[in-house]
Amino acid sequence: MRIHTCMLSLILLSGIVIATTPLPGHSAGAIERTVRGNVVATNLSADPQTIVVKVMLANKDELIVGARVPTDTRITRGTKAARLADIKVGESAEVIYLKKSDGLVARSIHVR
């Protein structure tokens, strides 16, 4: 039993370290996260542009995620490239973003 507990602890600790280790090419304080939800808003007139997504959590709570969308963010609809202007409120989207000390920055947006 003790061996199982130690192995489980080691696996969980490894997962935490991997999940919080910055990816190569990212600043040391950035953490990459992924959310899937419905688009609540986009702001094309802001610089940089922004997207806001509402995520339903397992405990039925809502999480609102707003991220800056710089020009190098990869945006796709299905398998084709898209623009932020093509995304409509209410559509389902997956947003991969970097959590930095100065806010959230979208790395990719995939609309289904």
pLDDT in tens, 45-84: 988 899 999 998 888 888 899 999 999 999 999 899 999 9
Q: How far is CA 57 from CA 32, 35, 62, 63, in A?
A: 18, 10, 6, 7
Report how far apart the first and last C-alpha atoms of the chain are (Å, whole number).
45
Paired residues of 94 in beta bridges:
36, 110
Q: Cα–Cα distance between 43 and 52 in angstroms, integer?
A: 9
CATH fold, domain 28-111, is OB fold (Dihydrolipoamide Acetyltransferase, E2P) (2.40.50)
Residues of the chain with pLDDT > 70, as a percent, come to 74
Domains of the chain, residue spans:
28-111
